[in-house]
Amino acid sequence: MIKLENYAKKKLESIRRKSLYRRLNIIATIEKMQIQIDGNRAINFCSNDYLGLSQNPIVLRTVKTKLHQISQCSSRLVSGNSPDIQMLEDILANHRKTEGALVYSTGYMANLGVLTAMADKNSVIYSDEFNHSSIVDGCRLSGATIKIFSHNNASDLHRLIDTDQNLDSVRKFVITEGIFSMNGSIANLSEICRLAKDANAITILDDAHGDFVLGRSKDYSGTADLLGVSRFIDIHISSLSKAIGCFGGYIAASHNIRELLINKSRQLVYTSALPSHLCRAAVTSISVASTGLLQKKLRRNVEYFVKALRNLGLVTGNYSGPIIPILIGDEKITVSVSNFLLKKGVFIQAIRFPTVRKGRAQLRISLTAIHDREQLDFALASLEILGRRYKLF
């Protein structure tokens, strides 16, 4: 026991020395994006509630009026598979235009569930270097050979696929995010899908941050929809705790893939079912989102904010999604910048290793449809002061 205490102490000291120490802040929502963080008021720019649906009165009413059980307290394969999960899955399959959908308890579990059920030691997975940790963990747990291509780089993917030309007998997978969770970039899906198809590989898209936010169709079914490549995606993965403002994760795919997951996916079989009231909340959220009004508000906020940041010289790229990074690099400076902003009343978290590479620390701003203009301007003014102070532009 003492040995373990010493181990923990030493590890923590080393984490602190590298400015990588993390602590749990106590955060209470006051209203919309106004929060109280460890007792101080601030505007929240760290939420994935992109459409503000977690606080939508229509969604809240659904949960409050029909609540008669907190949880089914059982796995879906035992007594947890409620009609509400089934209804949600039908709606999600329709949203994705796939034969079926399958709800998991989180997006994290959905990634683990798909990758461990579909890939094995006889498989090769080509994975973007910036893919989310749940994808990384799913790849590792599957036992497959993992080949990492440089971020969003179709030529590098091509190079890797080419070296495996003779491996006809192995199952190949290409996996990427749609809107990348940390740097907000949009995947080069047209090229990636084409390469995967030529190599006879299975294409998996985790679009947790683009789903219900982006799209050409009125369904806003995400990055693949926006880029017109939905039909090339074999398995869609997403989270219900981002734009939909609820909780849970899901996959959408063919009937047979869904059936195989039900039979093989340990992350579905050996855990409790998503509670019914959360499924009903998600169903209502999807119906509110389907008007498209919130996506338009979000888009206006993103355009306004990115333009102002570009004028300040704090960002250079174009961002169509709600995540906007400001790259700083040094971990220590990034943490003090984030603390400085918090003192001013703006909560923008410092993202550091291992979430991003060492020396590539950044601020990650996420915008929502329910930030008002005053809040955006307040943040911009604080970022301007900060940019001067830390010589960021």
Site residues (vs ligand PLP, CB under 6 A): 106-108, 111, 132, 134, 177, 181, 206, 208-209, 239, 241, 249
Q: Which is nearer to ligand PLP, 53 or 208 (CB)?
A: 208
For the chain, give the longest Cα–Cα distance. 60
Between the CA of residue 209 and those of 35, 276, 313, what are the distances in Å?
22, 24, 25
Q: Which is nearer to ligand PLP, 80 or 222 (CB)?
A: 222
Q: Which is nearer to ligand PLP, 203 or 382 (CB)?
A: 203
Answer whether the bond into residue 322 is a cis peptide, omega within 30°. Answer: no
Instruction: Report d(CA 259, CA 254) in Å as an integer.
Output: 9
Q: Which is nearer to ligand PLP, 222 or 383 (CB)?
A: 222
Runs of H (alpha helix) within 204-253 = 223-226
Q: Which is nearer to ligand PLP, 134 or 338 (CB)?
A: 134
CB proximity list for 13: less than 8 A, separation 6 or greater: none
Residue 251 C-beta: closest distance to ligand PLP, Å: 11
CB proximity list for 194: less than 8 A, separation 6 or greater: 232
Residue 247 C-beta: closest distance to ligand PLP, Å: 7
Residue 286 C-beta: closest distance to ligand PLP, Å: 16
- Per the CB < 8 A criterion, the answer to whether 221 and 95 are in contact is yes
Runs of H (alpha helix) within 189-347 = 189-198, 223-226, 255-264, 266-269, 276-289, 293-312, 331-344
- Per the CB < 8 A criterion, the answer to whether 53 and 245 are in contact is yes
Query: Nearest-CA neighbor of 334 among 292, 363, 370?
Result: 363
Residue 4 C-beta: closest distance to ligand PLP, Å: 29
Q: Which residue is nearest to ligand PLP (CB)?
A: 107
Q: Which is nearer to ligand PLP, 50 or 382 (CB)?
A: 50
